[in-house]
Amino acid sequence: MSDKHFPLTKAELAGLSAEYPTPFYLYDERLIREHARRFLKAFAGFPNFREYFAVKACPNPYILKIFAAEGIGADCSSLPELIMAQKAGMTGESVMFTSNETPEKEYVYANLMGAVINLDDITHIEYLEKAIGGIPELICFRYNPGPLREGNALIGKPEEAKYGLTRDQIFEAYKIARDKGAKRFALHTMVASNELNPDYFVETAKMLFELCVELKDRLGIRIEFVDLGGGIGIPYRPDQKAIDYDYVARGIRQAYDGIIAPAGLDPLGISFECGRPFTGPYGWLVTTAIHEKHIYRDYIGVDASMADLMRPGMYGAYHHVSVAGKEGAPATHTYDVVGSLCENCDKFAVQRSLPEIVPGDFVIVHDVGAHGRAMGFNYNAKLRAGELLLREDGKVVEIRRRETIDDYFATLDFSKLGSFKV
């Protein structure tokens, strides 16, 4: 069972909302750091172990600076993410650049900052070469095992995914890169997302270890490190269990000792690029109930919307919902908790048993620290919520202000509207 708690009392929320009106995101620095240390400790026995935080999960430089202080790097997929990581103190090979259909200028920037470039397709070798004037000394390729490996519901079947190189292409790609001057090689894959079966990650490690041996035998190439991708899930539902990192580490160690060591490939670096478990459980969306509606169902309307958190509406994803000050109250009512978008899927909870909610109550949406605000949008001209950080000393600081109407109009030039002929 996962414990669904919120770190502030109703009274503390009331005081906070006077300065920072709802809706807003709140992250807990202490819990983020504790999780990071627990994760790194579990895999500390592996040579050159590294975690690259998936910036896409929570793209905020203050969060990234916390991870940098904990010895964690950045997994980036775009130019702004690269810049953000760099500003947070993550540079060189502490940055993994994994993208797809990548523009030339992004490869150029990644190369200039010394990031590890992870190519998504065999044709990108020539594209990269033209963009930066050669092949980097260290190169990585993303492997898509296709029908040899099952994905999961969120990321889909590998053979239907747009990512990575086929098995045959992998061997050809390393040969081409070697012949063009690459000296160091890494191997990457990611075939699942939000996965809670720990054995899945052990099997992924075995797959990459075996491929490392084949690359050595067929091409004489020694893989320097393997990146197992992300995909570690979190227990969104109270009855779900979090991944046991020690269990995963033991399973990977057994595979390492049975495959890598006998092949003479020890030491082989191991990396993850998790995002969701590092911030997901330690972020909350705080919103206020502003309406109630009783028709064919009972509805609670809040001042946040799907524009702030799209996962429930987009994926039908479950997020636990609680009411500040009523955590121990009986769930006597059944509600759809909804936002104000002109879309019927704009719902945070559907037919959810909750305590009675009245306008003015603070409604807390849990486990939104990853792929929460990051996936926000401006449909219906909605303005995205700001982000607050609960520091270890108990103080709350603003790490991203809420959007304003001026922000929304910043890309429009109204001065020319008067002379626009229709």
Phi/psi region, residue 101 (left: phi>0; alpha: psi -120 to 50; beta: rest), is: left
> pLDDT tens digits, residue range 32-50?
999 999 999 999 999 899 9
Q: Map out the domains of the chain as residue ranges.
A: 29-279, 280-409
Give the Cα separation of 85 and 94 in Å (integer): 10
Mean pLDDT of 355-380: 97
H/E stretch holding 234: none
pLDDT (0 to 100) of residue 3 = 80
Query: What spatial distance separates the first Cα and last Cα of the chain, rounded to whole Å?
Result: 62
Cα dihedral across residues 220, 224, 230, 231: positive or negative: positive
Just give the CATH number of 29-279.
3.20.20.10
Instruction: Write out the DSSP string of 310-373.
Output: -HHHHH-----EEETT-TTS---EEEEEE-SSSSTT-EEEEEEEE----TT-EEEE-S-SSSSG
C-beta of residue 185 within 8 angstroms of C-beta of residue 221: yes
The token pair that represents 106 in the structure block: 């992004």
H helix intervals, 43-78 = 61-69
- CA angle 152-156-162, nearest 5°? 140
Residue 202 pLDDT > 50: yes
pLDDT (0 to 100) of residue 150 = 59
Which burial class, exposed, middle or buried, applies to 201 when counting CB atoms under 10 A from its CB (0-12, 13-18, 19+)? buried
Which burial class, exposed, middle or buried, applies to 296 when counting CB atoms under 10 A from its CB (0-12, 13-18, 19+)? exposed
> pLDDT tens digits, residue range 253-305?
999 999 999 999 999 999 999 999 999 999 999 999 999 999 999 999 999 99
Percentage of the residues of the chain whose pLDDT score is greater than 70: 96
Mean pLDDT (the chain, rounded): 95
pLDDT (0 to 100) of residue 146 = 83
Q: CB neighbours of 76 closer than 8 A, spacing ≥ 6? A: 55, 82, 85, 95, 96, 97, 98, 99, 110, 115
Give the Cα separation of 350 and 316 in Å (integer): 9
Just give the CATH number of 280-409.
2.40.37.10
For residue 147, name the pLDDT band (cuts at 50, 70, 90).
confident
C-beta of residue 154 within 8 angstroms of C-beta of residue 315: yes
Residue 149 pLDDT > 60: no
pLDDT (0 to 100) of residue 154 = 46
pLDDT (0 to 100) of residue 148 = 67
Give the Cα separation of 362 and 289 in Å (integer): 6
H/E stretch holding 132: helix 124-132
Residue 1 pLDDT > 90: no
Residue 251 pLDDT > 90: yes
C-beta of residue 279 within 8 angstroms of C-beta of residue 369: yes
Point out the least confidently predicted range of 137-151, 182-196, 323-337, 399-413: 137-151
Mean pLDDT of 300-316: 96
Mean pLDDT of 216-234: 97
For residue 269, the SS3 value is strand
Spatial CA neighbour of 102 closest among 83, 126, 79, 74: 79
> pLDDT tens digits, residue range 10-26?
999 999 999 999 999 99
Place of tokens 């150029």: 108
> pLDDT tens digits, residue range 87-137?
999 999 999 999 999 999 999 999 999 999 999 999 999 999 999 999 999
For residue 177, name the pLDDT band (cuts at 50, 70, 90).
very high
For residue 232, name the pLDDT band (cuts at 50, 70, 90).
very high
Residue 187 pLDDT > 90: yes
Strand segments (E) across 228-302? 269-272, 283-294, 298-302
Give the Cα separation of 235 and 248 in Å (integer): 16
